[in-house]
Structure formats: C-alpha cells, structure tokens
C-alpha cells in the first residue's frame, strides 16, 4: 500500500505540470492580453504597460510559466485584480461558507438516494419502479436554474418560508440562509443518483452470492441492506469521492444566487469580472483536489473489498 501511494503520488507530478501548462496557455495566450484585461476597458497604452510590469507579464514566457508553477506549489496565487486582496486569504475565508453548504448537502443526498434506490430496486419491475424511473428522469430534465429560481420565488418570496438570499457569519445564524440552498442542492442530485444506485443494486441482485443467500433462507431485507449494500460500496465510494472536490470548492450557481460568500460565489464573481488570477487559482485547486481524491478512492477500494489488489 505504501509503495502504491508513493508511486501514484509521483504519477501526479507530470499530470499537474501538464494541467499547469494548459492553464497557463489558456489564460495568458488564448484569453487575450492579461495586462489589458487587468487595466480595464478605457486604460491608456501607458497604463497597460505599467500593469504588465507590475504583474510580471513583460518577461519571457518560460519565466512566467515558472512563476505560475511556483504559485501552484506554494498556494500563493498573488492578488485579485478586482478586490486587490490576496487570493490565499480569499480562499481561506470562503472555505467555511462553502463547506457549510456542501457538506450537509452531500450527506443528506447520499442517505436519501441510497435508501430510495434500495427500496426501488426491491420492487424492480413493478408499477412503483416504473413510476420512480419517470420521476427521476423528470428531475434530471430541469436545469439547475429552474430549481434555484423556483425555490427563491415560490418558497422564499411568495410563501415566506425562507430568506431569499443573504448570509450570517455566525454558526447559529447562518442556517436560516442555508436550509433552502441545501434543499435545492439535494433536489439537483436526487434524480441522477437514484438512477445510478438503482442500476448498481439491481446488478448486484443477479450475482451468485444473492442466490446463495436466498438458498440459505435469508430474508430479502437482510439480503438488500446487509449483503447487497456492502458489495455495492465501490460504486458508492466512486460517486462520493468524485463529489469531494466540489464539496471544498463550493457550488457556483447556488452560492452566487443566494449570496453565500463561499468559493463558488467567489469564482462566479471572478468570471463576471474577468478576474483571471482568481479563476486560474480555482482551476488549479480543483485539479489538485480531483487527483488527490482519485488516489483516496483507489485506497478505499482496497480497504472495503479484499478482492481489489493495489498494484
């Protein structure tokens, strides 16, 4: 296991360098002149050159790329063009709000979807199963904006059940602003997750160990909730781990519409303001988190299933 972790960690180095190179080229060449973007629409040529010198964009490309890699390794991404704050401090202050939204959303979603999928799989082929499929497909058919706008207009504005938007930094006061965003986040994931888990559980129902368990006289409930759920842990881990980077970097649209000062809302504002340093930093952090959690998933596979060999 130790050799595997070291080897996979070493494999991550060229991948991260490749991501850094692509990100650098996209933001410094394909995205136009960064100095002109930072100076503003009506800046003079002299002011653009001053900005270019201040940002270190007047040097050779290989020097700029080296600085970009150094920022990635040290997590020192400079300052935001829009707010003039250090990006590291912006990220640190936004993690708390983002995780207050995304962690409860992930936990509630997994509990509800796994339980529903097991229940639906138990009644596979029945009218209840077919109706559930239609409902899940209908939930998938709507854009995330539909859920957000409907929740704000109907549940918050008309019914007055929740605040339309806002934020309270205190631990107790923030939850009145988070209940509706969490509900919307759960609804956004409900249809797809139930369909995926249902397929996984039904596939497990046709395995030999299920027939053996039935031949021993075990009830369907014991088979479903003890044996099938345990053997379906690998796809469950895959889904949960794949969502972990988004748990940390936040939910972009939900945070933006509900004015939650998390990393997702910060990224949304950076996109609107063409704040390239912030966008670049969040892109690199997302890539690093994705690679790290893929390694975590591989390790967990070997832990939960002895048949999986780490090589």
261, part of any domain: yes
pLDDT at 105 over 70: yes
pLDDT at 207 over 90: no
Q: Are residues 170 and 22 in the same domain?
A: no
Q: Are residues 194 and 55 in the same domain?
A: no
Closest CA to 189 of 293, 102, 289: 102
What's the whole-number average pLDDT of the chain?
Answer: 85
Q: Are residues 99 and 58 in the same domain?
A: no
The mean-pLDDT minimum among 10-24, 32-46, 65-79, 248-262 falls in: 32-46
Q: Are residues 48 and 148 in the same domain?
A: no
Query: What's residue 196's pLDDT?
Result: 92
Q: Hey, what are 239's tokens?
A: 């889904």
87, part of any domain: no
Q: Give the orientation angle of helix 175-205 with respect to helix 87-122, to 10 degrees.
A: 40
Q: Residue range 243-262: average pLDDT?
A: 86
- CATH number, domain of 101, equals 1.10.3720.10
Highest mean pLDDT: which of 27-31, 73-77, 252-256?
Answer: 252-256
The mean-pLDDT minimum among 25-39, 126-140, 195-209, 292-306 falls in: 25-39
pLDDT at 310 over 70: no
Q: Residue range 53-69: average pLDDT?
A: 80
81, part of any domain: no
pTM equals 0.84
Whose structure tokens read 């999986």?
A: 308
* Banded model confidence at residue 97, pLDDT cuts 50, 70, 90: very high
Number of structural domains (the chain) is 2
Q: Are residues 130 and 11 in the same domain?
A: no
**Of 16, 39, 74, which one is at a domain's C-terminal end?**
74
Q: Are residues 132 and 33 in the same domain?
A: no
Q: Are residues 7 and 97 in the same domain?
A: no
Highest mean pLDDT: which of 49-63, 186-200, 218-232, 280-294?
Answer: 186-200
Share of the chain above pLDDT 70, in %: 96
294, part of any domain: yes
Closest CA to 49 of 136, 57, 139: 57
Query: What's residue 187's pLDDT?
Result: 92
Q: Are residues 138 and 179 in the same domain?
A: yes
Other Cβ atoms less than 10 A from the Cβ of 57: the count is 18
pLDDT at 265 over 80: yes
**Of 74, 108, 127, which one is at a domain's C-terminal end?**
74
275, part of any domain: yes
Structural contact between residues 262 and 94, judged by C-beta atoms closer than 8 angstroms: yes
Q: Are residues 69 and 98 in the same domain?
A: no
* Banded model confidence at residue 306, pLDDT cuts 50, 70, 90: low
**Of 20, 42, 74, which one is at a domain's C-terminal end?**
74
Q: Hey, what are 231's tokens?
A: 């053997």
Q: Are residues 186 and 112 in the same domain?
A: yes
Backbone torsions φ then ψ of 86, nearest 5 degrees: -70, 135
pLDDT at 15 over 60: yes
Q: Are residues 50 and 154 in the same domain?
A: no
Q: Are residues 17 and 122 in the same domain?
A: no
The mean-pLDDT minimum among 19-23, 35-39, 178-182, 247-251 falls in: 35-39
Whose structure tokens read 């027939």?
A: 211
140, part of any domain: yes
* Banded model confidence at residue 194, pLDDT cuts 50, 70, 90: very high
pLDDT at 309 over 90: no
Q: Residue range 67-91: average pLDDT?
A: 84
262, part of any domain: yes
111, part of any domain: yes
**Residue-number span of the structural domain to which 61 is assigned:** 2-74
């Amino acid at each position: 296991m130790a050799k595997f972790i070291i080897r996979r960690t070493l494999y991550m180095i060229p991948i991260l360098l490749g991501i850094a190179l692509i990100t650098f080229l996209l933001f410094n060449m394909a995205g136009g002149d960064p100095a002109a973007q930072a100076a503003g629409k009506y800046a003079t040529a002299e002011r653009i050159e001053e900005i270019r010198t201040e940002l270190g964009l007047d040097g050779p490309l290989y020097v700029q790329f080296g600085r970009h890699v150094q920022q990635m390794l040290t997590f020192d991404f400079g300052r935001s063009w829009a707010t003039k704050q250090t990006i590291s401090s912006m990220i640190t202050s936004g993690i708390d709000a983002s995780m207050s939204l995304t962690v409860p959303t992930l936990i509630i979603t997994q509990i509800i979807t796994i339980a529903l999928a097991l229940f639906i799989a138990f009644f596979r082929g029945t009218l209840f199963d077919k109706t559930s499929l239609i409902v899940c497909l209908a939930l998938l058919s709507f854009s995330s904006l539909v859920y957000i706008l409907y929740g704000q207009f109907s549940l918050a504005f008309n019914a007055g059940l929740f605040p339309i938007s806002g934020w309270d930094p205190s631990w107790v006061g923030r939850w009145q602003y988070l209940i509706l965003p969490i509900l919307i986040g759960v609804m956004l994931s409900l249809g797809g997750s139930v369909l995926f888990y249902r397929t996984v559980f039904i596939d497990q129902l046709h395995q030999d160990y299920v027939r053996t368990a039935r031949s021993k006289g075990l009830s369907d409930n014991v088979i479903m909730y003890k044996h099938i759920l345990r053997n379906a842990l690998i796809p469950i881990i895959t889904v949960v781990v794949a969502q972990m980077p988004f748990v940390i970097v936040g939910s972009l649209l939900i945070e933006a519409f509900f004015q939650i000062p998390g990393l997702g809302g910060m990224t949304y504002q950076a996109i609107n303001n063409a704040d390239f340093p912030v966008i670049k930093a969040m892109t690199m952090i997302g890539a690093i988190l994705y690679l790290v959690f893929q390694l975590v998933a591989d390790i967990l596979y070997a832990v939960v299933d002895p048949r999986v060999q780490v090589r």
